[in-house]
Structure 1
Amino acid sequence: MLTRQNIDYKRIRIVRILVTFNNNNTNYGTGFFIGSHGLILTCAHVILGKDFKFVKKDKEFIDAQGAGNQEKAANYHLLLTNNIKVKLEDGTFRQVNLEKINPDYDIALLRVTEVNFDHPYFKVNKAMEPYLGEDISFYGFPSVLGHTPDNSPFVVNRSIISTFPEVEIAGGKYLHMQINATTIGGISGAPIFKGNENTVVGIINGNYHWALNNIVCRSDNGDRVLSTKVPLGIGYATSMKVINENTDIFSN
């Protein structure tokens, strides 16, 4: 059973991420501290503004310098991004820089720019092999009716692991955890825990929608494109074990 003490322990270590691009577009998501000196883990698509399958089609990515997708994604980010800031549990903001990114596994590491910044952080279990039917919990800042990305409330979710499909979600095609929970915009980057434990075992990075097309609504004020996608009760996540075994995110 989740307790107030357990939730408060997590709340202080989880942040809202707000990205502003040079064209004034914005993106947002969730992240969490994994190091005392301001290291924050989140999803690559939160930082890049869209799923990697779309990023790869952009001229800026195609033309970006780099020996592989990691270097190209980092340079793509530098070219298009104005700033990234995180909102802490106490309501204050901190500027962060991109430290590492691996778009193929939809993972990014950020660092607070403030000198000598220190903050409570989570331990990460890089070896745990999640199993079918295990109870999990995850926490973050999804879209909530009546709120903007910078003031949406902290949300608590519980679920189970239903299967392990090898599928392309927001990064490349690799083994994901599929969970029976609705995950909507803003929750990407949320840490996953086994039951009510406090060690991170995974990260939320996508969902499954019913319907793929948009509709155009015409009015006197002009045309508006509305999404017909309906989030189903299926979410996707990446285990810390997969991240550790396939990327250099955790290496010094």
Structure 2
Amino acid sequence: MKILYGKSTTFFLVLLFLFSISKLYSQQNSRLIKTNPSGTDVLDDKNEKIGTTPFDLDKLDKKNSSIKLVKDNYYPIEIKLFEKRNKNSSFFQLISDCSTCLIGIEENDYVLKLTKIFKEYDATILVGIEDPILEIDENTVIGEINGSKKKLKDKDIYRYLGYPQNMQFMVLNSFKDSYITAQYFSDKISEKDVSNLQNPKVIFKPIVKKLSFNLEGRLLRDYSGKCSIDCEWQLYDLSDLKTPISSFLVTVDYYRTGNNYELILHEMIALSEIKLLETESLYDLLVLTEKKHLEQSKGEKINIALSTQKKYQNITDMLKETSSSVVTVETEKKFGSGVFISDNGYIITNYHVIEGEKTVFVRIDKEKKIKAEIIKSNKDFDLAILKVDVNSKGLSFNKNSTNLGEDVYAIGTPLDKKLQQSVSKGIISGYREFNGVNFIQMDTNINSGNSGGPLLNLKGEIIGINTLKATGENVAGIGFSIPSSLVLKMLNIVD
């Protein structure tokens, strides 16, 4: 028997190719709803369970126009289906709307990928997100739309891809409900900020390394097909925006469904963020980076002979004596408050009061105005030390813990320089942490100009430096003070 080896081999390969194509076609046109992980509950539009995945779509009542996929520890997926459903159409061809769908491709089959519920932590962390950078050659083919190859240099490419500079909302919104409080960040904005107290200390720069899409449709909202992105999320410390601390390369392969108004690149970046958040060690790294930055901000030690605690006969006597230790800090353009902490002229105030100023004056009373020297500052904690050449009566720092509901007094120069050494009373109404900094929250009435003034307890001790006030319509009586222990630590004051 004679065997035609070459022809037989060719025939076999052709059969194998046709089998593979038919298998892929049948899988992509499957009526089965498949998920990763499998065993996900399928609910109808009345939220009643009708099965688990893989689920045969033919078992769904024709009157149902939506389904929900639910599994413990994963975010649910809500899917709207076309009311008129062709029996020959695959499940994915019948989706009319699914904003939470992430469709992966596994073994040549389309699979709905569920997203794990973000792990909860005691505190969120503020992270700055820069505009994405496309690190792709403009002559490289990045995808196809209706068979037409697309490159970054194409005239109309950003009309449906989306500009990297116009996606702040999409980028920030994707971190919602996670342990990251996202804030738009740029070098230019950071340079204009008077202090870093409300700025993120940890920065992410998303670098898009690769894009791929093969879409079909008449308009952007109709485009559907395979998409892929490789995005490198580079992590930086605010103090060094040139050298990344770490980086995470995130690859997302998915299927874009029709009835989708999102711009292609915006959608890709958002999906890469969700996958980034699944990194187990990410939260600990973000916290450590923030903590290191804040610890380094305190600088070299400074020796100051701090004032010792004084005793007062009563509250009236205490307020009269301590008020004389509170000063108005003046510059050419603004003013705030400050407090003597030693008997030889050292003053604590807020950094934003003296920021950008070369000449600073301290008004001790209505008649006495003295030029002050800026000794040290900490922009991250909005603190500064001044020195004037006078004998002063400094106030002592409280070294014990404070209590919720404790009576407190704020002294400063609110709103107008003529209101120097004004006193307001309140209570400690809470303790808050924001952006890695702990605050005392009080309902004491403070206003612009109170910044840098002391918050005192009934003994006349400094328990904090008044720094922030909540503002807005119908908002009153919410102020924040940096605790005295943190003031001493982050200015690195040694007695």
**TM-score tier after normalising by the smaller chain length:** 0.5 to 0.7
Q: Does 1:140 align with 2:412?
A: yes
Corresponding position of 2:189: none
**Separation in structure 1 between the aligned mates of residue 446 and residue 391 of structure 2, nearest angstrom:** 30
**Separation in structure 2 between the aligned mates of residue 120 and residue 193 of structure 1, nearest angstrom:** 15
2:385 aligned to 90, 109, 119, which one?
A: 109
The RMSD of aligned alpha carbons is 1.9
1:206 aligned to 468, 478, 492, which one?
A: 468
Corresponding position of 1:223: none
User: Which of the pair has the greater relative contact order for Cα pairs under 8 Å at 6+ separation?
Assistant: 1
Matches within 5 A, 1:74-153: 77=356, 81-89=357-365, 91-112=367-388, 114=389, 117-125=390-398, 127-143=399-415, 149-153=416-420
Corresponding position of 2:341: 34
Matches within 5 A, 1:151-230: 151-168=418-435, 173-195=436-458, 197-210=459-472
Q: TM-score, normalised by structure 2?
A: 0.35
Asked if the contact 1:137–1:192 (Cα under 8 Å) also holds between the matched residues in 2, the reply is: yes
**Separation in structure 2 between the aligned mates of residue 248 and residue 14 of structure 1, nearest angstrom:** 19
Q: Which has the larger radius of gyration?
A: 2
What 5-or-longer segments of structure 2 have no aligned partner? 1-313
Displacement after TM superposition at 1:37 (Å):
1.6
Corresponding position of 1:221: none
Displacement after TM superposition at 1:182 (Å):
3.0
Asked if the contact 1:100–1:249 (Cα under 8 Å) also holds between the matched residues in 2, the reply is: no
DSSP-derived class of the 2:470 partner: strand
**Separation in structure 2 between the aligned mates of residue 205 and residue 18 of structure 1, nearest angstrom:** 16
Displacement after TM superposition at 1:7 (Å):
2.1
> Between the two proteins, what is the percent identity of the paired residues?
23
Greater strand proportion: 1
Corresponding position of 2:480: 236
Change (3 A) 1:82 1:44: closer
Q: Does 1:44 align with 2:44?
A: no
Displacement after TM superposition at 1:15 (Å):
0.4
Q: TM-score, normalised by structure 1?
A: 0.67
Corresponding position of 2:315: 2
**Separation in structure 2 between the aligned mates of residue 181 and residue 138 of structure 1, nearest angstrom:** 7
Displacement after TM superposition at 1:90 (Å):
5.2
DSSP-derived class of the 1:105 partner: coil
Displacement after TM superposition at 1:136 (Å):
0.8
**Deviating 4+ runs (over 6 angstroms):** none
Counterpart amino acid of residue 102 in structure 1: N
What 5-or-longer segments of structure 1 have no aligned partner? 21-25, 49-76, 144-148, 212-229
Displacement after TM superposition at 1:181 (Å):
2.6
**Separation in structure 2 between the aligned mates of residue 231 and residue 88 of structure 1, nearest angstrom:** 32
Displacement after TM superposition at 1:124 (Å):
1.6
Asked if the contact 1:182–1:231 (Cα under 8 Å) also holds between the matched residues in 2, the reply is: no
Asked if the contact 2:410–2:444 (Cα under 8 Å) also holds between the matched residues in 1, the reply is: no
